[in-house]
């Protein structure tokens, strides 16, 4: 039997940095509503940014094997590629383990929040989501620095 959480006590504290990105494919109606502030539930990018930051901070509660990491910074940015909403989350900390899972949780939750806020616009006549999808969620950068003084 293995340990439930990998021991990290022996590891040095170093700067950790990770960037994750993901895409939410939306209908033209949703894109227009988001861009023009016409979503009934409110400002999609503002709410989704808050959701992403909260997810970064709560990652160990969602993923059992993740250590609690003292997050020092988190940045959430949004872009458009056609009808795809692009979320990028950057996380950094000085700690004994990386912050990739935190960045991935931030992206995923940010995109889920956005989808939730426009789901009434995304449904077809039978209540399904034929074109809406999250995709391409991945770590696009990971860095590990020198030991902390």
125-145 pLDDT, tens digit each: 999 999 999 999 999 999 998
Q: Looking at domain 20-144, which of 3.30.1280.10, 3.30.70.640, 3.30.465.10, 3.50.50.60 is its CATH number?
A: 3.30.70.640
Residue 25 pLDDT: 98
Task: Determine the 3-state secondary structure of 49 from DSSP.
Answer: helix
Global pTM reads 0.93
Q: How confident is the model at residue 4 (pLDDT cuts 50, 70, 90)?
A: confident
3-state helix, strand, coil in the chain (%, to 5): 35, 30, 35
Where are any strands of DSSP class E within the chain? 14-25, 73-81, 84-95, 133-147
Residues noted as catalytic: 116
Q: How confident is the model at residue 111 (pLDDT cuts 50, 70, 90)?
A: very high
Nearest to 49 by CA among 26, 69, 79, 29: 79
Nearest to 99 by CA among 109, 87, 89: 89
pLDDT tens-digit readout, 50-104:
999 999 999 999 999 999 999 999 999 999 999 999 999 999 999 999 999 999 9
């Amino acid at each position: 039997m293995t340990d439930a959480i990998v021991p990290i006590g022996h590891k040095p504290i170093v700067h950790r940095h990770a960037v994750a990105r993901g895409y939410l494919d939306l209908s033209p109606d949703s894109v227009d509503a988001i861009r023009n502030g016409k979503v009934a539930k409110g400002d999609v990018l503002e709410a989704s940014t808050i959701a992403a930051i909260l997810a970064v901070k709560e990652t160990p509660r969602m993923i059992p094997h993740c250590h609690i990491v003292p997050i020092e910074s988190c940045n959430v940015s949004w872009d458009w590629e056609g009808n795809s909403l692009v979320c990028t989350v950057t996380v950094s900390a000085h700690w004994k383990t990386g912050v990739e899972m935190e960045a991935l949780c931030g992206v995923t939750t940010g995109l889920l929040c956005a989808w939730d806020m426009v789901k009434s616009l995304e449904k077809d006549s039978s209540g399904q989501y034929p074109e809406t999808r999250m995709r391409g969620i991945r770590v696009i950068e990971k860095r590990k620095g020198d030991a902390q003084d």
